[in-house]
Structure 1
Amino acid sequence: MTHVETMTQAQGISRRDRKVILAASLGTVFEFYDFFLIGLVATEIAKAFFSGVNPTAGFIFTLLGFAAGFMLRPFGAIVFGRLGDLVGRKYTFLVTIVLMGGSTFLIGLLPAYATIGVAAPIAFVAMRMLQGLALGGEFGGAMVYVAEHAPSDRRATYTAWIIMTAAIGFLLAVAVIIPLRLALGADAFALWGWRVPFIISIVLLGVSLWIRLRLDESPEFKRMKAEGKASKSPLAETFGTWRYVKVIIVAALCILPAQAVIWYTGQFYTLFFLTKVLKVENLSANMMLIIATVLTAPLYVVFGKLSDRIGRKPVYIAGYLLAALVTIPTFHGLTHFANPALERAQANTPITIVADPNDCSFQFNPLGTSKFTTSCDVGINAVANLGLNYQSQDAAAGTVASVKVGDRVIASYAADAADAASQKTRLEAELKQALAEAGYPVGSADPESVNSPAIIALLCVLLALGAMVFAPTTTSLLEMFPSRIRYTAMSFPYHLSAAWFGGFLPATAFAIVAATGNVYSGLYYPVSIAAACMVLSLLFARETRGTDISKG
Structure 2
Amino acid sequence: MTISLANDGAAVRKQGMTREERKVILASSFGALMEWYDFYIYAALAVYFGALFFPPGNETTAFLASLATFGAGFLVRPVGALLFGRLGDKIGRKHTFLVTILLMGIATVGVGLLPTYGQIGITATILLVVLRLLQGLALGGEVGGAVTYVAEHSPVEKRGLYTSSLQTTATLGLLSSLLVVYLLKTLLTEAQFREWGWRLPFLVSFLMLVVSVYIRGKLHESPIFARMKAGNATSKSPILDSFTNWANLKYVLLLFVVASGLGAIFGTGHFYTMFFVNKTLHVPLELVHLLIGIALVIATPCYLFFGWLSDRIGRKHIMMAACLLAALTTQPIFRALTHYANPALEQFQQRNTVQLRAGDCHFRLFAEPVSACDKVKGYLTDLGVGYEFTQIDAGAQPALRIGGTTLQGFDKAAIKQALVAAGWTEHADPAAINRPMLFLMLLIPILLLAMVYGPLAAFMVELFPARIRYTSLSLPFHLGAGWVGGMLSFVVTAMNVSSGNVYFGLWYPVSIAAIAFVVGMVFVPETRGRNLDT
TM-score, normalization by structure 1: 0.89
Flag the 1:106–1:381 CA change in 2: closer, same or farther, 3 A. closer
Partner of 2:420: 432
Partner of 1:476: 459
- 1:200 is paired with a residue whose SS is helix
Deviation per residue, 1:469-488 (Å, 9 max, x gap)? 11233421221111111111
Flag the 1:10–1:31 CA change in 2: closer, same or farther, 3 A. same
Task: Report the Cα offset of residue 102 of structure 1.
Answer: 1.4
Is 1:211–2:215 an aligned residue pair?
yes
Task: Report the Cα offset of residue 165 of structure 1.
Answer: 0.5
- 1:412 is paired with a residue whose SS is strand
Task: Report the Cα offset of residue 49 of structure 1.
Answer: 4.2
Is 1:368–2:367 an aligned residue pair?
yes
Partner of 2:196: 192
Does the Cα contact within 8 Å between 1:230 and 1:484 map onto a contact in 2? yes
Identify which of 275, 281, 285 aligns with 2:284.
Answer: 281
Identify which of 319, 322, 325 aligns with 1:319.
Answer: 322
Alignment of 1:279-428 (within 5 A): 279-347=282-350, 349-353=351-355, 355=357, 359-360=358-359, 364-374=363-373, 380-381=377-378, 383-391=380-388, 402-405=399-402, 408-415=403-410, 425-428=413-416
Does the Cα contact within 8 Å between 1:238 and 1:489 map onto a contact in 2? yes
Query: In angstroms, what is the RMSD of aligned CA positions?
Result: 2.7
Partner of 2:480: 497
Flag the 1:5–1:210 CA change in 2: closer, same or farther, 3 A. farther
Alignment of 1:77-96 (within 5 A): 77-96=81-100
Deviation per residue, 1:207-258 (Å, 9 max, x gap)? 1011111211111111211222111221221123222222212221x22111
Flag the 1:380–1:213 CA change in 2: closer, same or farther, 3 A. closer
Task: Report the Cα offset of residue 163 of structure 1.
Answer: 0.9
Partner of 2:76: 72
- 1:543 is paired with a residue whose SS is coil
Partner of 1:27: 31
Task: Report the Cα offset of residue 453 of structure 1.
Answer: 1.6
Partner of 1:456: 439
Q: How many Å separate the matches in 2 of 1:395 and 1:107?
A: 44
Partner of 1:123: 127
Task: Report the Cα offset of residue 176 of structure 1.
Answer: 1.0
Is 1:264–2:267 an aligned residue pair?
yes
Report the AA paired with residue 386 of structure 1: L
Q: How many residues align?
A: 529
Q: How many Å separate the matches in 2 of 1:311 and 1:544?
A: 7
Flag the 1:360–1:315 CA change in 2: closer, same or farther, 3 A. farther
Q: How many Å separate the matches in 2 of 1:143 and 1:365?
A: 40
Does the Cα contact within 8 Å between 1:69 and 1:132 map onto a contact in 2? yes
Deviation per residue, 1:435-469 (Å, 9 max, x gap)? 23xxx3x1211111112122212222111111111
Deviation per residue, 1:250-274 (Å, 9 max, x gap)? 221x221111111110111111111
Does the Cα contact within 8 Å between 1:8 and 1:14 map onto a contact in 2? no
Flag the 1:174–1:354 CA change in 2: closer, same or farther, 3 A. closer
Q: How many Å separate the matches in 1 of 2:105 and 2:394?
A: 58
Flag the 1:214–1:8 CA change in 2: closer, same or farther, 3 A. farther
Report the AA paired with residue 503 of structure 2: Y
Flag the 1:362–1:504 CA change in 2: closer, same or farther, 3 A. farther
Partner of 1:239: 243
Does the Cα contact within 8 Å between 2:73 and 2:136 map onto a contact in 1? yes
Deviation per residue, 1:137-186 (Å, 9 max, x gap)? 00111000111011112211111110111111011111111111221212
Does the Cα contact within 8 Å between 2:50 and 2:63 map onto a contact in 1? yes
Task: Report the Cα offset of residue 130 of structure 1.
Answer: 1.3
Is 1:13–2:17 an aligned residue pair?
yes
Flag the 1:364–1:478 CA change in 2: closer, same or farther, 3 A. farther
Task: Report the Cα offset of residue 61 of structure 1.
Answer: 4.0
Task: Report the Cα offset of residue 304 of structure 1.
Answer: 1.2
Deviation per residue, 1:369-410 (Å, 9 max, x gap)? 443325xx66655543320233457999999765455xx421
Does the Cα contact within 8 Å between 1:403 and 1:409 map onto a contact in 2? no
Q: How many Å separate the matches in 1 of 2:375 and 2:132?
A: 35
Does the Cα contact within 8 Å between 2:401 and 2:407 map onto a contact in 1? no
Task: Report the Cα offset of residue 285 of structure 1.
Answer: 1.0
Is 1:202–2:201 an aligned residue pair?
no
Q: How many Å separate the matches in 1 of 2:77 and 2:100?
A: 12
Partner of 2:502: 519
Does the Cα contact within 8 Å between 1:88 and 1:217 map onto a contact in 2? yes
Task: Report the Cα offset of residue 336 of structure 1.
Answer: 1.9
Task: Report the Cα offset of residue 113 of structure 1.
Answer: 4.5
Deviation per residue, 1:57-93 (Å, 9 max, x gap)? 6554443332221111100011111111111111112
TM-score, normalization by structure 2: 0.92
Q: How many Å separate the matches in 2 of 1:271 and 1:44?
A: 14
Task: Report the Cα offset of residue 517 of structure 1.
Answer: 2.5
Task: Report the Cα offset of residue 506 of structure 1.
Answer: 1.1
- 1:548 is paired with a residue whose SS is coil
Flag the 1:328–1:60 CA change in 2: closer, same or farther, 3 A. closer
Does the Cα contact within 8 Å between 1:354 and 1:395 map onto a contact in 2? no
Does the Cα contact within 8 Å between 2:359 and 2:397 map onto a contact in 1? no
Does the Cα contact within 8 Å between 1:60 and 1:368 map onto a contact in 2? no
Moved more, 232-241 or 385-394: 385-394
Report the AA paired with residue 405 of structure 2: I
Flag the 1:395–1:491 CA change in 2: closer, same or farther, 3 A. closer
Could you tell me which runs of 5 or more consecutive residues in structure 2 were left unpaired when the two chains were aligned.
Answer: none
Does the Cα contact within 8 Å between 1:354 and 1:404 map onto a contact in 2? yes
Moved more, 89-98 or 15-24: 15-24
Is 1:465–2:464 an aligned residue pair?
no
Moved more, 214-223 or 232-241: 232-241
Deviation per residue, 1:87-120 (Å, 9 max, x gap)? 1111112111111111212222234455555443
- 2:20 is paired with a residue whose SS is helix
Q: How many Å separate the matches in 2 of 1:278 and 1:123?
A: 32
Flag the 1:456–1:354 CA change in 2: closer, same or farther, 3 A. closer
Does the Cα contact within 8 Å between 2:320 and 2:520 map onto a contact in 1? yes
Flag the 1:150–1:126 CA change in 2: closer, same or farther, 3 A. same
Flag the 1:62–1:380 CA change in 2: closer, same or farther, 3 A. closer
Is 1:170–2:158 an aligned residue pair?
no
Q: How many Å separate the matches in 2 of 1:292 and 1:240?
A: 43
- 1:411 is paired with a residue whose SS is strand
